Amino acid sequence: MGIAVRTLLTCLALWLVGAATVVAVEKISLIKIDGAIGPATASYISRSIDEARAQDAQCLIIQLNTPGGLLDSTQTIVQSFLGSTVPVVVYVAPTGATATSAGCFITIAASVAAMAPATTLVRRTGHTGR
């Protein structure tokens, strides 16, 4: 058998093996928020939702650990979630993390909310009116 024929058969065999192992790969976007919620956080989340949509991601996962933050920024984030065509998953993590005050509202506004073991979700209100 000539070298050309062997090379051709080897290439064909490799192509068949490659074609048989093609698997659909789903894209997931992930960001981490670790700290207070403010205007920069709201902007970061909004940009991340836009990027996830542009990349045709199946969802955006936000790993969250926050003591809370500003009401205006929280409202902006919730509106971003509600207007998103990409499902948003908020995952309170790592172990020991908290989603307090603003973090609680952000978590419950997500398409899916999940928590790592030994994490805390706490709603706090610091005032009785507007």
pTM (global) more than 0.85: no
pLDDT of residue 129: 44
At residue 7 the predicted structure's pLDDT band, cuts being 50, 70 and 90, is low
- Residues 22-52 as b/e (b if ≥16 CB within 10 A, e otherwise) read eeeeeeebebebeebbeeebbeebbebbeeb
- pLDDT, tens only, 31-73: 999 999 999 999 999 999 999 999 999 999 999 999 999 999 9
**Residue 117 CB coordination number (10 Å):** 8
